[in-house]
Amino acid sequence: MRLAAGLVLCALAAQGRDLKEVLKAVERRYNGAATLESRFEQRQLVGGRTRRAETGKLVLRKPGRMRWEYDQPPGKLFVSDGKWVYFYSPSEKRAERAKLKEADDFRAPLAFLLGRLDFKRTFGDFEMKEEGGEAVIAALPKSDRLPYRRVEFTVTAGNVIRRLVVKGVDGMDMEFLFSGEKLNVAVSDAEFRFVAPAGVVVEEADR
């Protein structure tokens, strides 16, 4: 009986999670980490249906460095060295670069993890609901000049960002599912250097 009563109290407590408390807990987790490594699945959604699914490995390191290395499709790469973002598509045999702050890309919202995470500074209004013991937080960007209109975070009871949905202004959404997250792992500087394959010229991305 005591065990059952304890479980009920825990369930009630989980249902009563406060939005501010969840945001602060997530900030503490990620602000306390210098590096992050995770597997990811990336899905392009149109009308709620998956148009394309890709997978790979994500590595982040503060300040401002990230590497999205795809195994499906193999060879695809998205790298930031803290100042520039490089994108390489083996199917198109071309590479582009843009300044990190100007990158018009669905991966860009994760760049806020590469500095000091502050939800209120990065986003405007928030909404939260709970699903299956996890918090689903919808955040609206402060600027309407960004390529997305809404970002949804699914946060576990352990304050891990498990899912991220970036809703584009053009009606196309991008969903990221993360698994096997590791914090403060050793990461080489070479992870964040982009070296173009032989015969590939790095072009400036169109603004």
Structure tokens, 179: 């698994």
Say if CB 134 and CB 98 are below 8 A apart. Answer: no
What CATH number did the domain enclosing 28 receive?
2.50.20.10
In a domain, 4, yes or no: no
Average pLDDT over residues 92-111: 72
In a domain, 108, yes or no: yes
Residue 11 has pLDDT above 50, yes or no: no
Smallest Cα–Cα separation from 114: which of 59, 68, 179? 59
200 lies in which domain range? 18-204
In a domain, 153, yes or no: yes
Q: Please tell me the total count of domains within the chain.
A: 1
Burial of 135 (0-12, 13-18, 19+ CB in 10 A): buried
In a domain, 170, yes or no: yes
In a domain, 177, yes or no: yes
pTM for the complete prediction?
0.82
Sign of CA dihedral 188, 189, 192, 196: negative
Largest CA distance in the chain: 71
In a domain, 11, yes or no: no
In a domain, 13, yes or no: no
Structure tokens, 159: 């304050």
Measure CA 187 to chain center: 18
In a domain, 115, yes or no: yes
Residue 146 has pLDDT above 80, yes or no: no
Average pLDDT over residues 8-37: 77
